[in-house]
């Protein structure tokens, strides 16, 4: 019989993703076949995966002219479930995140079901009109459960969104469907964690309360013995144990799933503080990289690998003045290219980027950012909500973009700058490279301006090193080889894959040390206990 467990949280960003990832690796190390699962994600940070089950409807929908058979069976899932599958040492697949909502605005999201586009949903549909999504989510869970020893599920937001409980299939709705126990995670770094944990249980209706089996505290700093009186009182009042206290750890970062994790303007990527990054070549001063923090930024993990290089100073920016002194400006992906291009222009960043290039700086546009760098963007069918729109791009590349209803989902690979490189494509925009541009992986290049439709290319160590060497060369020429960045940059030896694997092992080590894994596994295997009820929810 398959065992399962739901990791819920008192709030968004309480640590659900971290705990699920840690448990996936810890239990995989014990020899269990583990699958991560999240019924519904709301995220613009996604990943292309192969539909390894080979279902009849899992077909490639790339109609851009490449061979359809070559890319058959691709789907799209949240990035967090992808990294959780990596942690569990299993092949990522659409069933691990059967419903993905990709916000295209404040009240409208594009829907992906089992890896494939499935229309849109509005904020009004959160209460009604989602029965078909719940059906798909439950079917995917049942399928995973039939093929794995243990399914570790991640909730969304809080399980105590009592205004949305009637249509919930991600938190307690899922737990009730599978009759699985629930562990609630609270972020002690925010304060008020004891009230949040107790209140999460107490506001639930009786049938839901019976499934809440325990708590985990996350991001604790200091002497854990100081928590003992509070933990004892919480257990006395709730009749539920605390199954562990995870410490705050400076060396942790994971592939994030939503905009809450995007660094604030002026701050660095979380990967930038990696103590395991090696000294980088002969550069005498840092390469300064400014990443435009677009309002609807997507796949922002594309720049994580740059943060591992100790001679790269990486910052997210929103103001034209922040580009001053940058060696490389990155225009990242976005879920709404036209809207974010308007935002770029309204802030004067379009002129700042052009001035940056004129002064000898380099620019890298990725997916939506690549489209913005071109001459024109056309949206004849209103894929981005602007039917018939034809908008000028920044004109730094000669390429043009045409939006189509069919989405490109690919896992391409090739060679660039003399190095092997691979990535993934998720986009509605088809680009056509102009005659004035040179070829560049999935896009085009003109001098110091680079554009690619491939996400994830900077994770390839050889390509990343070669690309940074080009940028360093531009910076050295601009400085007259006077020692700013130097015209020559030697490879740093940093391995992004090794750094990610080290983080997953660190997470599992922390789980082994600070969580009662035996009790958690026993809970998952035995199913929910008859837990006492708390008021006021007990009366509902």
**Integer Cα distance of 529 and 95 in angstroms:** 28
Is residue 82 within 8 Å of residue 334, measured between CB atoms?
no
Per-residue confidence band for 504, with pLDDT thresholds at 50, 70 and 90:
very high
CA-nearest of 148, 140, 177, 175 to 159 is 175
Q: What is the pLDDT of residue 478?
A: 60
Q: What is the pLDDT of residues 52-61, one digit of tens each?
A: 553 333 333 3
Per-residue confidence band for 467, with pLDDT thresholds at 50, 70 and 90:
very high
Task: Give the mean pLDDT of the chain.
Answer: 87
Three-class DSSP category at 40: strand
Per-residue confidence band for 21, with pLDDT thresholds at 50, 70 and 90:
very high
First-to-last alpha carbon distance for the chain, in angstroms, is: 32
Q: What is the pLDDT of residue 102?
A: 87
Q: What is the pLDDT of residue 62?
A: 33
**Integer Cα distance of 508 and 502 in angstroms:** 10
Residue 32 has pLDDT above 90, yes or no: yes
The percent of residues above 70 in pLDDT, for the chain, comes to: 86
Is residue 315 within 8 Å of residue 351, measured between CB atoms?
no
Please name the residue that has the structure tokens 């690979």. 413
Q: What is the pLDDT of residues 119-129, one digit of tens each?
A: 887 766 655 66
Handedness of CA 41, 42, 44, 45 (dihedral sign): negative
Q: What is the pLDDT of residue 481?
A: 47
Looking at 38-52, 184-198, 248-262, 382-396, which range is the least confident one? 248-262
**Integer Cα distance of 351 and 186 in angstroms:** 44
Looking at 127-136, 400-409, 525-534, which range is the least confident one? 127-136
Is residue 454 within 8 Å of residue 442, measured between CB atoms?
yes
Q: What is the pLDDT of residue 123?
A: 65
Q: What is the pLDDT of residue 270?
A: 54
Per-residue confidence band for 280, with pLDDT thresholds at 50, 70 and 90:
very low
User: Helices 16-29 and 517-526: crossing angle, nearest 10°?
Assistant: 90
Q: What is the pLDDT of residues 260-275, one digit of tens each?
A: 455 556 555 555 544 4
Please name the residue that has the structure tokens 């325990």. 214
Q: Beta-carbon neighbour count of residue 272 at 10 Å?
A: 22
Name the pTM for this structure: 0.87
Q: Beta-carbon neighbour count of residue 406 at 10 Å?
A: 13
Residue 158 has pLDDT above 50, yes or no: yes
Query: Could you tell me which residues are beta bridge partners of residue 297?
Result: 334
The number of helix segments (H) and strand segments (E) in the chain equals: 14, 27
**Integer Cα distance of 238 and 517 in angstroms:** 21
**Domains in the chain, CATH or no CATH each:** 3-252+501-539 (3.40.50.300), 278-493 (3.40.50.880)
Residue 160 has pLDDT above 70, yes or no: yes
The percent of residues above 90 in pLDDT, for the chain, comes to: 70
Residue 103 phi, psi (nearest 5): -60, 130
Q: What is the pLDDT of residue 255?
A: 62
Residues acting as catalytic residues: 367, 455
Residue 352 phi, psi (nearest 5): -65, -40
Looking at 55-69, 83-97, 296-310, which range is the least confident one? 55-69
Angle at 320 between CA 317 and CA 326, to 5 degrees: 65
Residue 245 has pLDDT above 50, yes or no: yes
Is residue 319 within 8 Å of residue 326, measured between CB atoms?
no
Q: What is the pLDDT of residues 377-430, one digit of tens each?
A: 999 988 888 888 899 999 999 999 999 988 899 999 999 999 999 999 999 999
Half-sphere exposure in the Cβ direction for 177 (13 Å, CA) = 21
Average of per-residue pLDDT across 34-40: 97
């Amino acid at each position: 019989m398959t065992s399962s467990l739901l990791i819920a949280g008192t709030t968004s960003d309480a640590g659900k993703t971290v705990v699920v990832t840690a448990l996936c690796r810890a239990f995989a190390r014990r020899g269990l076949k583990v699958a991560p699962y999240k019924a519904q994600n709301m995220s613009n940070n996604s990943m292309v995966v192969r539909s390894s089950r080979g279902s009849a409807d899992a077909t490639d929908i790339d109609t851009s002219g490449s061979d359809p058979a070559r890319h058959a069976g691709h789907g799209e899932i949240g990035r967090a479930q992808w990294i959780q599958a990596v942690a569990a040492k299993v092949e990522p697949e659409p069933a691990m995140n059967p419903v993905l909502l990709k916000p295209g605005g404040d009240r409208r999201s594009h829907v992906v079901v089992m890896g494939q586009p499935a229309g849109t949903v509005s904020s009004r549909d959160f209460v009604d009109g989602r029965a078909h999504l719940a059906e798909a989510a439950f079917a995917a869970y049942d399928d995973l459960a039939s093929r794995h020893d243990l399914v570790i599920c991640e909730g969304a937001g809080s399980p105590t969104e009592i205004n949305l409980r009637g249509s919930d299939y991600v938190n307690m709705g899922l737990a009730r469907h599978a009759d699985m126990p629930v562990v609630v995670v609270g972020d002690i770094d925010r304060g008020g964690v004891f009230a949040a944990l107790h209140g999460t249980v107490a506001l639930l209706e009786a049938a839901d309360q019976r499934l809440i089996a325990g708590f985990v505290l996350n991001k604790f700093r200091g002497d854990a013995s100081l928590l003992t009186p509070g933990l004892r009182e919480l257990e006395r009042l709730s009749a539920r144990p605390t199954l562990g206290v995870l410490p705050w750890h400076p060396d942790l970062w994971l592939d994030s799933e939503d905009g809450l994790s995007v660094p604030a303007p002026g701050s660095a990527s979380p990967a930038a503080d990696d103590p395991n990054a090696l000294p980088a070549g002969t550069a005498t001063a840092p390469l300064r990289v400014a990443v435009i923090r677009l309002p609807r930024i997507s796949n922002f993990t594309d720049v994580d690998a740059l943060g591992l290089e100790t001679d790269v100073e990486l910052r997210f920016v929103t103001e034209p003045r922040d580009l001053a002194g940058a060696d490389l400006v990155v225009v990242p992906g976005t879920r709404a290219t036209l809207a974010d291009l308007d935002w770029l222009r309204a802030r004067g960043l379009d002129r700042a980027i052009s001035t940056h290039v004129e002064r000898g700086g380099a620019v890298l546009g990725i997916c939506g950012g690549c489209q913005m760098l071109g001459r024109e963007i056309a949206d004849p069918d209103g894929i981005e909500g602007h039917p018939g729109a034809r908008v000028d791009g920044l004109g730094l590349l000669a390429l043009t973009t045409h939006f189509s209803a069919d989405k490109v989902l690919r896992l391409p690979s090739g060679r660039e700058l003399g190095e092997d490189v691979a990535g993934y494509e998720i986009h509605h925009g088809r680009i056509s490279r102009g005659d004035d541009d040179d070829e560049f992986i999935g896009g085009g290049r003109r001098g110091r301006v680079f554009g690619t439709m491939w996400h994830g290319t900077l994770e390839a160590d050889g390509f990343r090193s070669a690309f940074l060497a080009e940028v360093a060369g531009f910076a050295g020429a601009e400085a007259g080889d006077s020692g700013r960045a130097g015209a020559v940059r030697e490879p740093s030896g940093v391995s992004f894959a090794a750094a990610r694997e080290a983080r997953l092992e660190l997470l599992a080590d922390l789980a082994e040390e600070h969580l009662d894994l035996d009790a958690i596994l026993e809970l998952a295997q035995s199913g929910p206990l008859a837990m006492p009820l708390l008021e006021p929810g007990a009366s509902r």
